Amino acid sequence: MEKTKTKATDKAVSLAKEKGCLFVDLKFIDLPGLWQHYTLPISELNDSLFEEGNGFDGSSIRGFRQIHESDMLLIPDPATAIVDPTLDVPTLSLICDVRDPVTGEDYSRDPRNVAKKAEAYLKSTGVADTSYWGPELEFFIFNSVRFEQNSHVGYYAIDSKEGIWNSGNSEGDNQGYRPRPKEGYFPVPPTDQIHGIRTKIALKMMEAGLNVDKHHHEVATAGQCEFGMRFDTLTRMADNVMLYKYISKNVAMQNGYTVTFMPKPLFQDNGSGMHVHQSLWKNGTNKFFDAKGYALISQMAKYYIGGLLTHSPALLAFCAPTTNSYRRLVPGYEAPINLVYSQRNRSASIRIPLYSTSPKSKRIEYRCPDSSCNPYLAFAAMLMAGLDGIRNKIDPGEPIDKDIYELGPEEKAKIKSTPGSLLEVLEALEKDHDFLLEGDVFTDDLIDTWINYKKKNEYDAVALRPHPYEFYLYYDI
Q: Report the chain's mean pLDDT, rounded to a whole number.
A: 94
- Are 26 and 38 in contact by the 8 Å Cβ rule? The answer is yes
Domains of the chain (ranges, CATH numbers): 7-107 (3.10.20.70), 130-141+195-474 (3.30.590.10)
Dump pLDDT digits (tens) for 308-357: 999 999 999 999 999 999 999 987 666 789 999 998 776 789 999 988 88
Dump pLDDT digits (tens) for 12-51: 999 999 999 999 999 999 999 999 999 999 999 999 999 9
Q: Among 138, 162, 388, 458, which one carries the catalytic annotation?
A: 138
Q: What is the mean pLDDT of residues 383-393?
A: 98
105 catalytic per annotation: no
69 catalytic per annotation: no
Q: Among 47, 52, 57, 105, which one carries the catalytic annotation?
A: 57
User: Given a cut of 70, is residue 184 above it in pLDDT?
Assistant: yes
365 catalytic per annotation: yes
218 catalytic per annotation: yes
136 catalytic per annotation: yes
226 catalytic per annotation: yes
pLDDT of 75 reads 97
Q: Omega before 265 cis (within 30°)?
A: no
Q: Among 218, 232, 239, 290, which one carries the catalytic annotation?
A: 218
Q: Among 97, 110, 365, 388, which one carries the catalytic annotation?
A: 365
User: Given a cut of 80, is residue 2 above it in pLDDT?
Assistant: no
Dump pLDDT digits (tens) for 235-283: 999 999 999 999 999 999 999 999 999 999 999 999 999 999 999 999 9
How far apart CA 205 and CA 225 sit, in angstroms, is: 15
Distances (CA, A) of 36 to 238, 334, 386: 15, 34, 30
Find how far residue 83's CA is from the centre of its chain: 23
Q: What value, to the nearest 5°, has the Cα angle with vertex 181 and ends 178 and 186?
A: 65
Q: Higher-confidence residue: 409 or 311?
A: 311
Q: Among 178, 275, 277, 433, which one carries the catalytic annotation?
A: 275
Q: Among 136, 192, 232, 458, which one carries the catalytic annotation?
A: 136
Q: Among 192, 226, 290, 458, which one carries the catalytic annotation?
A: 226
Q: Among 112, 367, 388, 458, which one carries the catalytic annotation?
A: 367
Dump pLDDT digits (tens) for 66-88: 766 778 999 999 999 999 999 99
44 catalytic per annotation: no
Q: What number of CA atoms fall less than 13 Å from residue 34's CA on the CB side? A: 9
Give the closest residue to 304 by CA, choosing from 290, 324, 325, 323. 290
Dump pLDDT digits (tens) for 95-153: 999 999 989 999 999 999 999 999 999 999 999 999 999 999 999 999 999 999 999 99
- Position 79, amino acid: A
User: Which of 321-325, 407-411, 471-475 is the most confident on average?
Assistant: 321-325
- Rounded to two decimals, what is the model's pTM? 0.95
